[in-house]
């Protein structure tokens, strides 16, 4: 495989202190995605509020339960802006639930429920055809995190093999990846499975997600 130059050499647009503070404010985040389809807006996170709930210095939301009919959570993002020059994205969070609570990938329940870090280029139309296929970027295949109770932290370098909506890697779509960094709109994380990254998760019993730390560094 050809060597790919590090993106650290590109002009930096570092996360400002203000952007860092915004990540800890629930009202800046959106639970979605909201997609314009058939002449109206639809929130694909059924049964979920538009925003998380502020809890002290952090925020939280509750997973829909006990089944798919109650709802499911897809994308949790906030408007960040370009991330060219950043080294990594980091998330620390806690899931509170009884030990026997199960988390289900609603689209493919036979697969393990996962969390993936995520960023999205400005102007996305939520299509998988070119050029929209390189507007949404998800955690490398080896760095999807199982959804389960406990405190968890995931840090992913922007030099690693992030993947597109069609599962192409950063190395395979490097020009599209660089354009997405330069024109980033939203950053955050998604729930789904190894084959359907943002296609949502629900719980079988009460469960709460609390964001502890989030940073583009």
* Ordered DSSP codes for 6-47: -GGGSPP-PPPHHHHHHTT-GGGEEEE-EEEETTEEEESSTT
* Residue 111 falls inside a structural domain: yes
* Residue 67 falls inside a structural domain: yes
Residue spans of beta strands (DSSP E) within the chain:
29-32, 34-37, 40-43, 53-55, 58-62, 75-79, 88-97, 103-105, 114-121, 136-138, 145-146, 150-157, 184-192, 201-203, 207-216
Cβ atoms 88, 201 nearer than 8 A: no
Cβ atoms 198, 79 nearer than 8 A: no
Cβ atoms 210, 96 nearer than 8 A: yes
* Residue 1 falls inside a structural domain: no
* Residue 169 falls inside a structural domain: yes
pLDDT reading at 75 higher than 60: yes
The pTM is what?
A: 0.91
Domain tally for the chain?
1
Q: For 34-65, what is each residue's pLDDT tens digit?
A: 888 888 888 999 999 999 999 999 999 999 99
Looking from the CA of 160 toward its CB, the CA atoms found within 13 Å total 17
Task: Please tell me the predicted confidence (pLDDT) of residue 17.
Answer: 58
* Residue 2 falls inside a structural domain: no
* Residue 47 falls inside a structural domain: yes
Q: What whole-number distance in Å separates Cα of residue 121 and Cα of residue 113?
A: 25
Cβ atoms 117, 189 nearer than 8 A: yes
Task: Please tell me the predicted confidence (pLDDT) of residue 36.
Answer: 83
Over residues 72-87, mean pLDDT = 96
Cβ atoms 105, 192 nearer than 8 A: yes
Over residues 60-87, mean pLDDT = 97
Task: Please tell me the predicted confidence (pLDDT) of residue 19.
Answer: 64
Domain of residue 91: give its range. Answer: 7-216
Task: Please tell me the predicted confidence (pLDDT) of residue 18.
Answer: 63
Q: How does the average pLDDT of the chain come out, rounded?
A: 91
Q: For 138-197, what is each residue's pLDDT tens digit?
A: 999 999 999 999 999 999 999 999 999 999 999 999 999 999 999 999 999 999 999 999
């Amino acid at each position: 495989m050809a060597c790919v130059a590090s993106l650290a050499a590109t002009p930096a647009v570092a996360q400002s202190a203000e952007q860092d503070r915004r990540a800890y404010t629930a009202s800046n985040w959106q639970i979605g995605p909201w997609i314009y389809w058939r002449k109206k807006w639809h929130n694909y996170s059924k049964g979920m509020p538009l925003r998380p709930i502020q809890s002290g210095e952090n925020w939280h939301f509750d997973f829909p339960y006990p089944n798919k009919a109650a709802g499911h959570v897809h994308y949790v993002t906030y408007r960040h802006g370009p991330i060219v020059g950043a080294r990594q994205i980091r998330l620390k969070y806690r899931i509170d639930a009884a030990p026997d609570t199960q988390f289900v990938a609603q689209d493919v329940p036979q697969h393990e429920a996962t969390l993936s870090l995520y960023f999205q280029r400005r102007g996305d139309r939520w299509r998988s055809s070119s050029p929209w296929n390189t507007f949404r970027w998800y955690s490398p295949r080896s760095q999807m995190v199982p959804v389960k109770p406990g405190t968890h932290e995931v840090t992913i370098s922007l030099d690693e093999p992030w993947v597109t909506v069609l599962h192409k890697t950063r190395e395979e779509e490097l020009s599209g990846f660089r354009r997405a960094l330069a024109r980033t709109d939203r950053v955050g994380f998604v729930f789904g499975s190894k084959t359907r990254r943002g296609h949502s998760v629900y719980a079988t019993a009460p469960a709460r997600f609390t964001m502890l730390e989030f940073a583009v560094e």
